[in-house]
Homo-oligomer: A and B are copies of this chain.
Amino acid sequence: MRVSIIGLGLIGGSIAKDLRKNGFCQHIIGVDSSYQNAQKALDLGIVDEISPLEEGVKQSDLVILAIPVDHTVTILPYVLDHINDNTTVTDMGSTKKSIVESVEGHPKRANYIPAHPMSGTENSGPEAALEGLFEEKIAIICDQKSSGVQHLALVEKMFQYLGMSIAYMSSDEQDLSTAFVSHLPHAASYALANAVLSKENKQIIFDLASGGFRSAVRLAKSSPQMWAPIFTENKEYVLEAMDVYIKHLKNFRDSIATEDPTEMYDMITNANKIREVLDNKNPQLIKNEQKIIKLYTRKN
């Protein structure tokens, strides 16, 4: 099988490493708009050859887009225009609705699987690519009924080779959930870094930063090239999530200002529930050798 990966950064590079290592494919074609990035990926052995977009796409059984979401919106229709009839296309973007809309009604829409692997680091570029980045994590596949079964099967198999479980959602549900679980934490972390940098001497920040501070601002290291388009593409839900967050922050602030210790105590106790949510070892996901495929339906 011939696979081409468009975008040879953290995500594209990490996928290439594991697909090869785990025997999903032996030959990977790399496509990147930056000549420097492409050459680096080749030098690092992440891809086997570099190709211009159209040529790479035409030769491939599977095309994986791993570029910023605004570029995906532009390039995905072009990719579908140029693939062979049997080629499967998927993208790894953190937002899905606007990407799906960009190919609505396209004659090859069924060849495309909108996907989002829930993993990453705060680093970027081909040097940031890591083996095992996706192991034991969840990949979201959206609007699966709009895709052909053979294409769905191939992308599912690809995620299984990456060690991932698969969750199905509508692209609307995925954009809302990731607004809260991924995009909001990034926005919160950027604003936290900016707030502290605006008031504190850098040497004091460095010296006083404990593990807690480092943990809270880790996401603020993430690149604007990837994250600015995510906030814009998922504007509606990101704003909703930020408004909910600002409301909770203000409530917390006011409980301190009015010296209402019971209310503050209750808010902290409620926040502590995140421990049981995150530390919960879901036996279905963790223990089962056969990776789980789950269908999510939103209650409210």
Binding site for B on A (CB under 8 A): 118-122, 137-138, 140, 165, 167, 177-178, 180-182, 184-224, 227-228, 231-232, 235, 238-239, 241-253, 256-257, 259, 261, 264-265, 267-275, 277-278, 280, 282, 285, 294, 296, 298-299
Contacts and interface: CB of A to CB of B under 8 A. Distances in A.
A239 to B, nearest CB: 6
The 7 A-B residue pairs whose C-beta atoms are closest, nearest first, are: A185-B216, A224-B268, A193-B271, A193-B274, A190-B271, A191-B248, A195-B245
A221 B211 CA distance: 14
A267 to B, nearest CB: 6
Given A244-B198, A268-B190, A239 B218 contact: no
Contacts of A204: 177, 181, 296
A14 to B, nearest CB: 13
Contacts of A138: 207-208
A272 B223 contact: yes
B296 A197 contact: no
Given A190-B271, A191-B252, 8 more contacts: A119-B211, A185-B213, A193-B270, A206-B277, A206-B280, A206-B282, A215-B219, A228-B261
Contacts of A235: 256-257, 259
A127 B250 CA distance: 34
B256 A197 contact: no
Given A212-B182, A274-B197, A294 B207 contact: yes
Contacts of A209: 118, 181, 277-278
B285 A212 contact: no
From DSSP, what is the main secondary structure of chain A's interface residues? helix
Contacts of A282: 203, 206-207
A249 B256 CA distance: 19
State the number of copies, please: 2
Contact of A182 (B182, B210, B247, B251): B210
A270 B197 contact: yes
A264 B231 contact: yes
A121 B210 CA distance: 9
A270 B140 CA distance: 31
A2 B249 CA distance: 45
Contact of A248 (B198, B210, B223, B253): B198
Contacts of A219: 212, 215-216
A217 to B, nearest CB: 5
Contacts of A212: 120, 122, 182, 185-186, 218-219
Contacts of A268: 190, 222-224, 227-228
A140 B208 CA distance: 9
Contacts of A119: 210-211
Contacts of A238: 256
